[in-house]
Structure 1
Amino acid sequence: MLAGASSHTSSSKMSQGIFPTSRIGNSEFPYSGASSFSQPIADMNDNDETDLLSISWNQDYDCFAAGTSHGFRIYNCEPCKETFRRDLKCGGFKIVEMLFRCNILALVGAVANSHYQPNKVLIWDDHQSRCITEFTFRSEVRGVKLRHDRIVVVLEHRIYVYSFTDLKLLHQIETLANPRGLCCISHNKNTFVLACQGLRQGQIRVEHFGLNMTKFIDAHDSQISCFALTSDGLLLATASVKGTLIRVFNTMNRSLLQEVRRGVDRAEINSIAFSQNVQWLAASSGKGTVHVFRLTVRVSGEDSLTQPNAIQGPTLFHQNSSSSLDPLISPNTGANPNSSLSFMRGVLPKYFSSEWSFARLHLPGNTRFIVTFGSQNTVIIVGMDGSFYRCSFDPVHGGEMVRQEHVRFLKLCVHHHAIC
């Protein structure tokens, strides 16, 4: 019996054929067996209204999943297009977690779902139209994260890590109260790093599972509201409920590498994202603003031979890596190119010396947005109001971002209410 979990059942054993070659986003899907889901539909201009319960990126950030009061939908990002959906008569899903673009998803039912309860995690194989396994807990599931080899389930006070191949429980982590299900994991095959709240306010716990190493980072004085890892887990960006500062840490030695400032007044930071090349950091706030910061942290590894000017720092070894090339992380001591006060660093108070955003965008309305980076210096923004934005920024001069695409990807109910 698991502490905090009443049962852990599998509807069928995990086999080597669990990951068929089908990919979400393809036009053809084979369906077999009974399923309570309807057939997929690919039409963004429908008239059926629904409630949007959640939005989340896949691990490559090239598509996103929307949990609705009727089921879930999957969208491509460039361009924004619905690829398929599944609808239920019994209710919707409050958590929909993709596994890259393959046919496996993790689903958690909404409170109004009469068949799938919010204390259960379903691992759904859309290729076979069936539930592969089911996890049941004593309390409500707050979050789920997937890797090719792991399933991470987040409860309010505990995190469970399971093997994807045999469903065995591998790790249990106790956390501070975590009603929002804050947790992030690395996605590189060679490293498995997990970041979550510690047991003290403002503290982040980082697990380097491949190295059997735990680090505690005292990131903020206030409660943590948002954080993100790079795909290899070597950098961590954090924000507190104040929402004025975002800090970037080295997860290996806990050192603070950079501090950037969103603003001077309080605002909830809803989403943080690193660019794939780790040159930029984006953040969205509850004030409808999106900020892009230039990272002064240099990361060199496999491409270090092609970047002779890359600054070398303390070696950070890849966990379980077959490569002899090790990533190197060090702070760039150059001044913030966007700050006219850089010559007075160390003299002015911290308010002036923290680095301000390089590019920015203000969006209409009052909604929660999540953000990521697209191709060719673009930022992709998805809102809980059913809006999608793709904006570009000037990598040399910064300033105001330019809207390249704006789509209403989901028509929402005028009067939000629970649907059974």
Structure 2
Amino acid sequence: MHKWSALLEFNRFQTCGKARTYRRRCYGNLHMAQRLELMAKLEGHWECVNSLNFNAEGDLLVSGSDDLQCQLWEWQSQKLLTSFSSRHRSNVFQSKFMPHKNNQTIITSSHDGSIRIHQLDEAGSRGVDSRKIGFHRGPVHKIAMHPALHETILTAGEDGCVLNIDIRLPNPINVVTVRSAGQPVGLYSIAINPLRPSEFVTGGKDQFVRVFDRRNAKPDDFVRELCPDHLVSTRIRCDDASLSVSEAVYNFDGTEILASYSDEDIYLFANDISTIEAKGTENSYLHQYQGHRNNDTVKGVNYFGQRSEFIVSGSDCGHIYIWDKESSHIVNFLFGDEDGALNCVEPNPTAPFLATSGFDHNVKIWAPSAEEEPSLQEVREHTIQNMRQRHQNLIRDYCEYYIRLRRRQMNDF
């Protein structure tokens, strides 16, 4: 049910004059999530777009692509401000504005394992400086920064390492190497707690979401380890049929962690002590979000709303799924990618707009301008199809694993 009235909120705004409260309530209401429709396509890349990031003010957007280019957009006017070479040797997986740099410093990471810093000129018309500031022995899908951590970047790579990069120092510091059964766990995701900058969360090539404290980060000394009870030990761990966490993110105040599992569902965990103690166990998730499919690529997941009122994710079927956080119901379902999987979903930090990208060679901007609420008649059909494909893929992976295992045993014999 709708809990927001535009007339009531506008009258309250005129009476009280609290623009921030008005903006927050407007952004996080059901009307905005349900009325999203395609506003614009930002054309400029000629390969898949893997990364999107708004600046803190929400008026600029930077994108990174398989074409090794980064592009800076004034998205409201659909104006391309600059396009510059990332100087990476392989797919650009992440491109983000660095805080407190007047939108002139962009950090990128890549499949080649390197992290680079790009300094734009004052007009933002061209890249004037680019240098490598860190390196992993494996692809780097995500980097994390926090306004309170000046000049500092956290990166996570498929080598299992989390690096702390201070751009004022010559060499990065290895904060922790995440391990399971003595072996490094390849990492897909890293995020910093918005209210506790010393805390960060990682996700990668096993079923656990791990929370660390930078002040005392050791391989076996995480703050907590999160995983739904039914996923801890019920599935076979093998090269092709294992669970992984494609992305884990904090909500607006760091009290919740949202994790998207490959070829599984999205789960919401508590990250505050009082809620964990009330639930009785850390592995009891608060909510489960179903319907999409996360198998072909490394899917992102995010919150929508300044108080994290909704959950948004792409899907292999090319659609955008938006769930109400508390009820877990799908409230919107949008076709967002013609060529296949939709991977990246990036909400605007200040207004109810959404940027998405995937296999299409463009960036799509979604605005709450639809005249009618969405028709969700196709949701059931696509959900059933996604679940059927997931089941078939799981059976195929297990069969292939057992065939390889049997061949290995015969060769040993």
1:81 aligns with 2:87: no
Q: Name whichever of 275-284 and 51-60 sits farther off.
A: 51-60
CA distance, structure 1, for counterparts of residue 315 and residue 324 of structure 2? 18
CA distance, structure 2, for counterparts of residue 67 and residue 381 of structure 1? 13
Give the 3 Å change call, closer, same or farther, for CA 208–242 of structure 1 in structure 2: same
Decide which structure has greater helix share: 2
1:173 aligns with 2:162: no
**1:257, CA displacement in angstroms?**
5.6
Query: Aligned letter for 1:135?
Result: G
Deviations 1:177-204 (A, max 9, x none): 666x4122126475343211378x3111
Structure 2 residue corresponding to 1:215, chosen from 210, 221, 224: 224
Structure 2 residue corresponding to 1:262, chosen from 283, 290, 295: 290
Tell me which residue corresponds to 2:279.
Answer: none
Tell me which residue corresponds to 1:156.
Answer: 158
Structure 1 residue corresponding to 2:335, chosen from 362, 365, 375: 362
Tell me which residue corresponds to 2:383.
Answer: none
Query: Aligned letter for 2:153?
Result: I
Structure 1 residue corresponding to 2:53, chosen from 42, 52, 57: 57
* Bigger RCO (CA 8 Å, 6+ sep): 2
Query: Aligned letter for 1:383?
Result: G
**1:53, CA displacement in angstroms?**
5.8
**1:273, CA displacement in angstroms?**
1.0
CA distance, structure 1, for counterparts of residue 165 and residue 190 of structure 2? 17
**1:205, CA displacement in angstroms?**
0.3
Aligned length: 288
Q: Which structure 2 residues correspond to residues 17-416 of structure 1 after superposition, within 5 A?
A: 50-52=46-48, 54-58=50-54, 60=56, 62=58, 63-87=61-85, 94-98=92-96, 99-100=98-99, 102-108=103-109, 118-127=112-121, 129-131=128-130, 134-147=133-146, 148-149=149-150, 150-164=152-166, 165-166=168-169, 167=171, 169=173, 171-175=175-179, 181-186=187-192, 188=194, 190-197=196-203, 201-209=206-214, 214-219=223-228, 221=231, 222-243=243-264, 245-253=265-273, 255=282, 256=284, 258-263=286-291, 270-275=299-304, 276-296=306-326, 336=327, 355-365=328-338, 366-374=340-348, 377-392=352-367, 399-400=374-375
CA distance, structure 1, for counterparts of residue 90 and residue 262 of structure 2? 29
Tell me which residue corresponds to 1:406.
Answer: none
Secondary structure at the counterpart of residue 223 of structure 2: strand
Unaligned runs of 5+ in 2: 1-41, 122-126, 232-242, 277-281, 377-413
Query: Aligned letter for 2:177?
Result: I
TM-score normalised over the length of structure 2: 0.57
Secondary structure at the counterpart of residue 254 of structure 2: coil
Whether the 8 Å CA contact 1:71–1:93 is kept in 2: the answer is: no
Secondary structure at the counterpart of residue 74 of structure 1: strand
CA distance, structure 2, for counterparts of residue 266 and residue 376 of structure 1? 27
Give the 3 Å change call, closer, same or farther, for CA 130–225 of structure 1 in structure 2: closer
**1:94, CA displacement in angstroms?**
2.1
Instruction: Let me know the Cα RMSD of the aligned residues.
Output: 3.9
Give the 3 Å change call, closer, same or farther, for CA 204–171 of structure 1 in structure 2: same
Whether the 8 Å CA contact 2:190–2:247 is kept in 1: the answer is: no
TM-score normalised over the length of structure 1: 0.57
Give the 3 Å change call, closer, same or farther, for CA 79–248 of structure 1 in structure 2: farther
CA distance, structure 1, for counterparts of residue 87 and residue 369 of structure 2? 46
CA distance, structure 2, for counterparts of residue 90 and residue 143 of structure 1? 15
**1:175, CA displacement in angstroms?**
4.2
